[in-house]
Copies of this chain bind each other. A is one copy, B any other.
Amino acid sequence: MYKDLNPIIHSKLRLAIISYLVANGASDFKQLKEVTQATAGNVSVQLKKLEAAKYIHIKKGFLNNYQHTAVEITPEGLAAFEEYVDAIKKYLP
């Protein structure tokens, strides 16, 4: 069933972000923007949606006097990603 693809994960940019977090551990706003090559606005919006879904945790602070937004995946986020992977694999040869 096509609805098995969790729409929170399925978004192109959110999938890229979650996938990166799963593969590389914790990250931050700047790095996620770089690796995805998305605009800052888009990254900001999608991080908020992932946080609202409790798939990531966002911690704002400072690093070398500049603001710094740390991002880490939650256990729920990891579980949702794994479910998503199982679901989408059914569509791939």
Contacts and interface: CB of A to CB of B under 8 A. Distances in A.
A15 interface: yes
Binding site secondary structure of chain A: helix
Given A7-B12, A10-B12, A12-B10, A2 B36 contact: yes
Interface in A76-93: 85, 88-89, 91-93
Nearest to A38: B2
Q: How large is the interface on A (under 10, 10 to 19, 20 to 34, 35 or more residues)?
A: 20 to 34
Contacts of A92: 19, 85, 88-89
A52 interface: no
Interface string A1-33: 111010100101101100100110000000000
